[in-house]
Amino acid sequence: MTRRILLVTTDQQRYDALACNGGRIARTPAVDGLAAAGIRFERAHPQSVVCMPSRSTILTGQYPRTHGVWMNGVPLDPDAPSVAAVLHAAGYRTALVGKAHFEPFLDPFGRFRENTTDPDPRPELRGFEHFETATHTPLGPLHYARWMQAEHPDELGGFYRVLDGRLEVNGEGGGDTGAPQVAHNPVPREHYHTDWVADRTIAWLDTLDDDDVWFVWMSFPDPHHPWDPPAAELGRVPWRDLDLPPGYPLDRAEREAAIDARPRHWRLWYDGEWVANYEAPPDWVPATLTPDQVREIDAATHVENELIDEACGRVLSHIERRGWADTTDVIFTTDHGEFQGDHGFLFKGPYHVDALLRVPLVWRPAPAVGLPPAVVTRPVGHLDIAPTLCAIAGVEPPPFMQGRPLPVDDADAEERGFERVLTEWDSEHWAGDVHARTIHRDGFTCTVYEPGTVHDGTEGELYDHAVDPLQRVNLWDDPARRSLRDDLVADLRASLPPAGAPRRRPAAPV
């Protein structure tokens, strides 16, 4: 049997965004249904908690230190390996619809093919014969932006303007609470990028013959900030009715004591003295975040999560109408998480805690295969997705891939040695450089900070998820955990592959 493949990614979505993962706010019946019929992974980690490196890992099946996209703004080599190219060579029709971001968005000189205004649809790119792009804004050269500019120019001003006049990320507040990067957007739902991505995916599927085999990567820009979903949909989740998320420490003294027990870059950002990520607004200070702002951002995020789930449901229904449902594998994940108030922060950065590090991952194998539903508790990573796509297609994963096909249950995971998952962060810019290396194993997350301008190589973090699921207590300096810490650090260093050389330089901020 030949199996078709739908890979769905979101952007900056938390593990607990989904009801099947314990989420209590957004209604996500489409993805919950995939999880109930398929395999849900409880401990899936990206190999980077920022967009470009993580997406490049999903495409290549490689660590950031191998594919070379070690921070946002570093373009993936045009000749980098691609799972789409492998599947296309095996006879698959291939498409990417939505957010790609293997190359920088800030590209005013048109250096990167991903952002060019070539004919629509574009010629084959990275193994995708159809490449139709969108991001969070209706401005710029990508396909969604060009469609909005041509068809609905009067609606462009309702979106939050992410970039200010200095080409920096804007931290201006909006909405009801003055929360950063929140806007009440009057755009009709049917013109918002979530439905556009689903519509264009369906349109491409309808260019195929019934007996075609296909791989489509459907990539939603949400729920990544800015938080500006269609205003008419905000009534789904009234922010004033929400409880604060469990990860937000309401007591300021408790919150700041936990921050001070972590490496120094935590407090530096909290106080607005340092920003480690170009996507975090440089003029926003986390210490100013209010409980009501957390509630409003939480509500807008979950509105976006519901819209994504409904868009997925439409595409799945269309696949069923085409007669492909029984032979289609569906994988749903995101590139990394979002603080969303946890620990008193928003956005993302070199902070390897579950808000950013633990991501949703659901794989519903083609029903005709007959695999029973399962929950996998052992750790897996994004670099395991590309080999899984190859295995689904009946293609041997090529040697360039550094992951393995995902396990189908815990027994399979144990037999094949899924014991640890690794994540890296490297950033170098005007504020200084940070280099984090993380291992999750046996219910512990351990992070080493390599020497840089912020850390001297002695700082780190160690969390015991069994007794501290909210990661409030850093055990790095606990004498009783020294042996465990040393063992995890040694395992981390032994498990990371050698870094590639020479290191490619950033070409843009993001």
Query: Tens of pLDDT along 148-180?
Result: 999 999 999 999 988 755 556 788 899 999 999
What Cα–Cα distance (Å) separates residue 111 from each residue in 53, 59, 105, 106? Answer: 19, 21, 10, 10
Q: What is the pLDDT, as a whole number, of residue 143?
A: 94
- pLDDT score of 122 more than 60: no
Q: What is the pLDDT, as a whole number, of residue 440?
A: 98
H/E element, 319: helix 291-321
Query: Taking Cα atoms as reference points, which of 390, 409, 408 lies closest to residue 399?
Result: 390
Q: Which tens digit of pLDDT belongs to each residue from 369-381?
A: 999 999 999 999 9
Q: What is the pLDDT, as a whole number, of residue 430?
A: 81
pLDDT category of residue 241 using cuts at 50, 70 and 90: very high
Q: What is the pLDDT, as a whole number, of residue 164?
A: 59
Q: Which tens digit of pLDDT belongs to each residue from 271-303?
A: 999 987 878 888 899 999 999 999 999 999 999
Q: What is the pLDDT, as a whole number, of residue 500?
A: 85
pLDDT category of residue 117 using cuts at 50, 70 and 90: low
224 within 8 A of 136, measured Cβ to Cβ? yes
- CA atoms of 370 and 259, how far apart (whole Å): 48
Q: What is the pLDDT, as a whole number, of residue 169?
A: 74
Taking residues 243-263, what's their average pLDDT?
97
Looking at per-residue confidence, does 106 or 181 come out higher? 181
DSSP of 34-91: HHHHSEEESSEE-S-SSHHHHHHHHHHS--HHHHS--STT-PPPTT---HHHHHHHTT
Q: What is the pLDDT, as a whole number, of residue 119?
A: 52
441 within 8 A of 488, measured Cβ to Cβ? yes
Q: Which tens digit of pLDDT belongs to each residue from 441-469?
A: 999 999 999 999 999 999 999 999 999 99
Residue 85 makes CB contacts below 8 A (sequence gap 6+) with 126, 127
Looking at per-residue confidence, does 172 or 396 come out higher? 396
pLDDT category of residue 264 using cuts at 50, 70 and 90: very high
Burial code (b: 16+ CB inside 10 Å, e: under 16) for 462-484 equals bbbbeeeebbbebbbeeeebeeb
- pLDDT score of 239 more than 80: yes
* Greatest Cα-to-Cα distance within the chain, rounded to the nearest angstrom: 64
Q: Which domains does the chain have, with CATH numbers?
A: 4-249+290-419 (3.40.720.10)
312 within 8 A of 333, measured Cβ to Cβ? no
* 430, two tokens: 């005007």
Residue 190 makes CB contacts below 8 A (sequence gap 6+) with none
222 within 8 A of 194, measured Cβ to Cβ? yes
* 156, two tokens: 């462009």
Mean pLDDT of the chain: 95
What is the distance, to the nearest Å, from the Cα of residue 249 to the centroid of all Cα atoms in its chain?
24
Taking residues 27-37, what's their average pLDDT?
98
Taking residues 209-228, what's their average pLDDT?
98
- pLDDT score of 425 more than 70: yes
For the stretch 403-406, contacts whose Cβ atoms lie closer than 8 Å and that sit 24 or more positions apart, written own/partner, are 403/61, 406/39, 406/41, 406/363, 406/376, 406/380
| Termini Cα distance of the chain | 42
H/E element, 317: helix 291-321
DSSP-derived 3-state class of residue 421: strand
Query: Taking Cα atoms as reference points, which of 184, 391, 376, 180 lies closest to residue 292?
Result: 180
Q: What is the pLDDT, as a whole number, of residue 166?
A: 52
- pLDDT score of 260 more than 90: yes
Q: What is the pLDDT, as a whole number, of residue 270?
A: 97
